[in-house]
Chains A and B, each alone.
Chain A
Amino acid sequence: MTEKDKLILFNPLGKNNPITVQMLGICSALAVTSKLEPAFIMAVSVTAVIAFSNLILSLIRNTIPSRIRIIVQLLIVAALVTVINEILKAYAYDVSKQLSVFVGLIITNCIVMGRLEAFALGNRPWASFLDGVGNGLGYAVLLVIVAFFRELFGSGTLWNFQVMPQSFYDAGYCNNGLMILPPMALIIIACIIWIQRSRDKELQEK
């Protein structure tokens, strides 16, 4: 792996994070982060889908007529997700039951389309694959951080295990209902963006 490959892979984790810097995929980040478990499942599946759709699109990038490239991208993503879901339904039914909710969310995730359009169309397959993995991981990190806070303060649990001790509740502590609702996810993401930009002057807009 060359220096350039490393940059492609690790940049999206921080400086070029798909959510906090590129501002992509925020809608799904709001929808699935009320608990850690679904957030994790979503993160893993999106990573797999971006990586492989980037790879496939990059392989056929020189044959695609530019006027219908968006349709072709959508077709590839939708077909990929559907086939994977069908296979899971046959061989790992429980996983597919968990995932079925996410299928629509994955296909329409703007990170997938964004990376196809911005990177895979103009780069070689291996670099595109790394870019997909990197952006998927960048998305995953954000999702897990947001879900951690939302589940901890919204439900008092982490990965469905009770962590807030009963003595807190006896002393008058209440789960924060607002944490469960989507607006709170937006506020948490905004706080993360604030922290990131105050530490990294390069990201600040003039």
Chain B
Amino acid sequence: MKKYRCKICGYIHEGDTPPDICPVCKAPASEFEEIKTENRKRFNREGNVYTILYASVIVVLVAVMLAVTAQVLGERQKRNESTDKKRQILASLNISSTNKTAEDLYNEYITASYLVDVQGQKTEGDAFFTKLDAVLRLPEAEQCYPVFEATVGGQKKYVLSMRGSGLWGPLWGFISFDDDRNTVYGASFGHESETPGLGAEIESAEFSNKFKGKHFFDTSGKFVSVAIVKTGKTVQGQDYVDGISGGTITSQGVDVMLKNGIGAYENFLKTNN
């Protein structure tokens, strides 16, 4: 059913066609115009019900989208993460690798991996998949730390893992030791969210190369760690490397991480020394 309005007097006629003449002012059919009624009433977008519904729907949609993405891509991401960890371990042994070669190089160089407790005794467990951040939350007596043994150029190396905190988020790193379990053979550092160009520079080879040949024990065999100092400063009684200028807090974080992280292996490093 359509509605027609008479343009002359405003009379409204209901029907499928306009009337032949207007019953009020006798105007002809051509003077009638159709009234277009909006088919659906305009939705009130400012009402509480609509607002709440809209919010719920969009939140659920986004949640589903994120969940699906995480599920679909999870497998690949895990593989990438483990490849990345292998590359970092290899980097601490001064072996450069690509995503493709990491797997093979890792199997070639790493000869054994195991966990050690605070006393330096080997214990049960898988070293590669040990999450150090979870381990560090346990009481000290129950903590076990991963050790990776490698053979590079016929020489035995030990790669130790550590974790600490920087300015914005976690830091981690691997230090490889010579067979004397005191001299640093190589190092690699990583971070989650340090400031690019400043703290994030700990990732660079320039920084980690400075650790080569440094000693974690002093001449009397006491654990002293390696200090990170401001460029130009020196420390007595222990080896030190220059920190990152402009990345003071990150540098301090690395300093603490070395002291605590490698300090946790003190007994392990002392055995066979």
Contact = CB atoms under 8 A, between A and B. Distances in A.
Partners in one complex: yes
A104 interface: yes
- B contacts with A: majority SS: helix
B135 interface: no
A177 interface: yes
B237 interface: no
Nearest to A83: B69
B222 interface: no
Nearest to B195: A31
A196 interface: no
Contacts of A31: 195-196
B196 A83 contact: no
B4 to A, nearest CB: 31
Interface string B201-237: 0000000000000000000000000000000000000
B45 A63 contact: yes
B179 interface: no
B196 A79 contact: no
Contact of A91 (B59, B69, B76, B84): B76
Nearest to A92: B80
Contact of B73 (A35, A90, A94, A97): A90
Given A38-B197, A86-B70, A63 B77 contact: no
A90 B76 contact: yes
B55 A101 contact: no
Looking at A32, A79, A82, the one whose CB has the most chain B CB atoms below 10 A away is A79
B192 A100 contact: yes
Interface of A: 31-35, 37-38, 41-42, 63-68, 71-72, 75, 79, 82-83, 86-87, 89-91, 93-94, 97, 100-102, 104, 151, 177, 180-181
Given A32-B197, A68-B55, 13 more contacts: A34-B197, A34-B198, A65-B50, A66-B46, A68-B51, A89-B73, A89-B77, A90-B73, A93-B84, A101-B193, A101-B200, A102-B196, A180-B245
